[in-house]
Structure formats: C-alpha cells, structure tokens
C-alpha cells in the first residue's frame, strides 16, 4: 500500500517572508536606494547652509530657522503653509520616498520581474504587502539620514538647540511610523499607473508634496470650517508630528498609518486580481 503524499501550501507568513527576502535583496543591491539616502541627508544640510550665504547686498541672508530642530519638524500643527520654513522639514522625505518607490516598482514591470513573479506566485496581496513593507523601510532609512543631515547643517549654521526632547522624539517617530502608510499609498499609485512610468512618478510627487491638503485646507479655512480633520484623510496625520506633540499625536500617526496601509493594500490587491498586471 502506498501512502498518499500531501503537499501543504505555504502560509501567508511563509510567503511574505520569501518575498521580503527577494525584495530586500533587490533594494540593498540597487544603487538608487543609496542615492536617495544621500539626497535625504544633503537637502536639509543645504537648506540650513543656505542661510549662511551672503545676500545681494553682501550681508548674510536672514535665517529660515531659529532652532536646529525646526528643519526636522514644524513648531506646531500647520494645515496651511505660512512660510517656506514651515514646509521644509522631514515631511520632504515623503517626496523623495515617493519618487524612489515609483522607480523601484517601475523596474519590476520594465524588467519583466512582475510577469515572472505572477506566473509562479499567484497571490497578488503578497506582492502589495511585501512592496509596502520594503518601501516603508526605505523611507524610514531616509528619515534617519535626513535627521543626521538636518542636525549637522543646523549645528553648523549656529542655530539654537533648545527643544522639548520628548516632543522631538515623538515627532521623529511619528513621521517614521507614517512611512508605512505613505509606502502603501505609493505602491497603490504605481499599481494604477503601472504602464505609465512618468505618470506614476508625477502622482507620487504630487501626493508627497501635500499640495492636496494645502489646497483643500485653504478652501475650507476660507469658509471658516475646521481643517484638522483634512490632515487625517489627505496627508496622513504627518503634520501632527511636530515639536509640540504629545503621545496622542503619535497614536494618531500609528492609527492613520495602519488604516492607510490596510485600505491601499486591499485596493491594490483587488486591482491586480481584476486587471492585466503586465
């Protein structure tokens, strides 16, 4: 009597582990990743250093900031930009991250990797989850290099270093937490525009700049309605992570990031299941 051999299909955790291994290998062997890490460090350092350059009249330019940590996070929650200094903080990482994600995922389609993957690996949700997690990791790494570059630039510019350490930590961690939500959004956008690389990059850049919430907030503010709720839906609670934040702001970032990740992963999976993925 012969025994029937049963082959058990791998669990979700096993499948994701395998895909993460491949995606992390590709990420660490992609020069683009290290280029964007460098960009994330250089940009804030340059913004700080520019305040030390002489202006047209030969005098030193007026500083954008008065404190080292203002290039890391805004002093308070802002839904409408008051000055360029309010905009130039770690939220810029979400712009760099969006462009990097578009190029990283776009290469999957250009190289034929996706066709090969879905021929042997039918679970579209695994692709969405793996890409979201790996890209979130990449954006977190950019937050770290941004912090290093911004801090060094601010110290060299001679800015004041006084800060509420607890709020600073919450601001940094809050923005890192939001990386998961942003990476999920960018992955979803690149699935939508998978055949149009230029549009996928442009859409990621558009959402990363926060133009949507800035415009919507300006309209809502003009008719005297509260603007804080817009941030949750349009900019992922990122502005709540600032230099006056408390633990509640961090919790909001965690909740919003997880909700964004679930929504965009489910939407992306359904799109891939219903459409030609190549």
Q: Are 197 and 272 within 8 A, CB to CB?
A: no
Torsion angle, alpha carbons of 120, 125, 129, 130, to 10: 0
Reported pTM:
0.85
Distance CA 193, CA 185 (A): 12
Q: Determine which of 44-58, 60-74, 227-241 has the lowest per-residue pLDDT on average.
A: 227-241
pLDDT in tens, 193-245: 878 888 888 888 888 776 666 666 556 555 555 555 655 555 556 777 888 88
Q: What is the pLDDT of residues 76-100, one digit of tens each?
A: 776 555 566 666 788 889 888 999 9
């Amino acid at each position: 009597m012969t025994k029937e051999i049963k082959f058990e299909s791998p669990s979700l955790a096993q499948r994701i582990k395998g895909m993460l291994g491949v995606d992390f290998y590709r990420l660490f062997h992609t020069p683009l990743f290290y280029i964007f890490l460098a960009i994330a460090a250089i940009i804030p350092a340059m913004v700080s250093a520019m305040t030390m350059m002489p202006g047209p009249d030969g005098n030193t330019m007026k500083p954008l900031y008065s404190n080292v940590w203002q290039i890391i996070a805004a002093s308070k929650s802002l839904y409408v930009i008051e000055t360029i200094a309010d905009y130039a903080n770690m939220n810029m990482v979400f712009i760099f991250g969006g462009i990097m994600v578009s190029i990283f995922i776009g290469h999957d389609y250009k190289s034929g990797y996706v066709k090969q993957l879905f021929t042997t690996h039918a679970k579209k949700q695994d692709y969405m989850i793996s890409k979201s997690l790996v890209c979130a990791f990449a954006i977190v790494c950019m937050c770290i290099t941004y912090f290093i570059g911004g801090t060094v630039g601010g110290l060299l510019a001679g800015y004041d270093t006084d800060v509420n350490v607890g709020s600073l930590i919450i601001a940094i961690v809050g923005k890192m937490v939001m990386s998961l939500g942003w990476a999920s959004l960018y992955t979803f956008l690149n699935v939508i525009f998978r055949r149009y690389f230029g549009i996928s990059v442009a859409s990621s850049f558009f959402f990363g700049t926060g133009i949507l919430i800035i415009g919507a907030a300006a309209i809502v503010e003009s008719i005297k309605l509260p603007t804080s709720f817009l941030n949750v839906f349009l900019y992922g609670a990122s502005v709540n992570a600032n230099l006056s934040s408390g633990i509640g702001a961090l919790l909001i970032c965690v909740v919003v990031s997880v909700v964004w990740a679930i929504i965009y992963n489910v939407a992306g999976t359904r799109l891939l299941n219903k459409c030609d993925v190549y």
